């Protein structure tokens, strides 16, 4: 730190992290630097994400998405095609739009619901909070009388991305119902909304940016909590309760 100030240069310090992703050992390194950056990615995926967790002179809401190729690490320009498939619709698949920093991304939520052979059915989630999944399943049993306590439920977020916001709740529920009833959902529909414990669908932030990105990717229908104030080419269906959303299937 003294050398960087004396020479007026930028300096990068690489530190170890623990298994849960936090800086290992005493947090002296995190306190002394101006910016803390995390370079995330999975060995099985070609995408890498650069996130800022601390920035004394700017915002930490931005994210950099890169792609590992044979030529090295390059900026992922056509990032939209990495997180969802535009092929024919299949049961257990629903699209939503999440915010990564100031960037809106369309992602595919995949669900598999099958009859359980165990006394305690399995609940597994990749890229989604399993505790929130259990809450949504309990809500579906209560409000829609779905006998999910006799079924195994598996959730996967395609593309290796991890959802850290609640705007994907509606898409998770849609994918579960789609798999349970074996009814495909059109790839031209997106589900955006947070679901409360009472079954109410709540609005999320930056809906305008999410709908704009969805329209740019060829989506024609959006199921949201409230009708947006902006003009859009999408057919918007405002739904305020989970019970009413079942009519769209």
CB-CB contact of 136 with 172 (8 Å)? yes
On whether both 58 and 111 belong to a single domain, the answer is no
Reported as a single tens digit per residue, the pLDDT across 184-208 is 998 889 999 999 999 899 988 888 8
On whether both 73 and 85 belong to a single domain, the answer is no
pTM score, whole prediction: 0.74
Which of 48, 77, 106 is where one domain is finished? Answer: 77
**78 band by pLDDT with thresholds 50, 70 and 90:** low
Residue 173 reports pLDDT greater than 90: yes
Q: How many domains does the chain have?
A: 2
CA–CA distance, 229 with 207 (Å, rounded to integer) = 10
What's the average model confidence in pLDDT over 140-164?
88
pLDDT at 125: 94
**In the chain, at which residue ranges do the beta strands (DSSP E only) sit?**
35-41, 47-55, 63-69, 72-75, 93-100, 103-115, 123-126, 151-157, 189-191, 194-195, 201-202, 221-224, 235-238
On whether both 113 and 229 belong to a single domain, the answer is yes
On whether both 68 and 105 belong to a single domain, the answer is no
Which of 49, 77, 105 is where one domain is finished? Answer: 77
Reported as a single tens digit per residue, the pLDDT across 1-36 is 888 889 999 999 888 888 777 777 777 888 888 998
What's the average model confidence in pLDDT over 129-148?
92
Residue 44 reports pLDDT greater than 60: no
Which residue range(s) make up the domain with 62?
A: 2-77
**61 band by pLDDT with thresholds 50, 70 and 90:** low
On whether both 90 and 212 belong to a single domain, the answer is yes
Which of 27, 46, 77 is where one domain is finished? Answer: 77
Q: How does DSSP classify residue 246?
A: G
On whether both 181 and 69 belong to a single domain, the answer is no
């Amino acid at each position: 730190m003294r050398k960087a100030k004396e020479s007026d240069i930028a300096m990068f310090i690489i530190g170890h992290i623990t298994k849960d992703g936090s800086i290992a050992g005493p947090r002296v390194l995190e306190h002394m630097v101006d910016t803390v950056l995390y370079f995330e990615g999975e060995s099985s995926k070609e995408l890498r994400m650069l996130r800022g967790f601390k920035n004394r002179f700017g915002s930490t809401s931005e994210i950099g998405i890169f792609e590992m190729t044979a030529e090295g690490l390059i900026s992922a320009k056509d990032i939209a095609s990495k997180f969802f498939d535009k092929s024919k619709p299949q049961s257990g698949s629903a699209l939503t739009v999440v915010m990564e920093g100031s960037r809106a991304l369309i992602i595919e939520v995949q669900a598999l619901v099958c009859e359980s052979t165990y006394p305690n059915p399995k609940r597994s989630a990749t890229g989604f909070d399993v505790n929130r999944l259990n809450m949504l399943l309990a809500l579906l049993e209560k409000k829609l009388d779905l006998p999910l306590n006799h079924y195994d439920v598996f959730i996967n977020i395609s593309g290796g991305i991890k959802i850290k916001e609640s705007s994907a709740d509606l898409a998770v529920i849609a994918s579960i119902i789609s798999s349970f009833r074996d009814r495909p959902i059109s790839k031209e529909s997106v589900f955006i909304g947070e679901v409360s414990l009472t079954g109410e669908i709540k609005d999320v932030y930056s809906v305008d940016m999410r709908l704009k990105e969805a329209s740019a990717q060829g989506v024609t229908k959006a199921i949201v909590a409230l009708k947006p104030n902006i003009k859009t080419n999408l057919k918007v269906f405002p739904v305020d309760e989970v019970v009413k959303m079942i009519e769209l299937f």
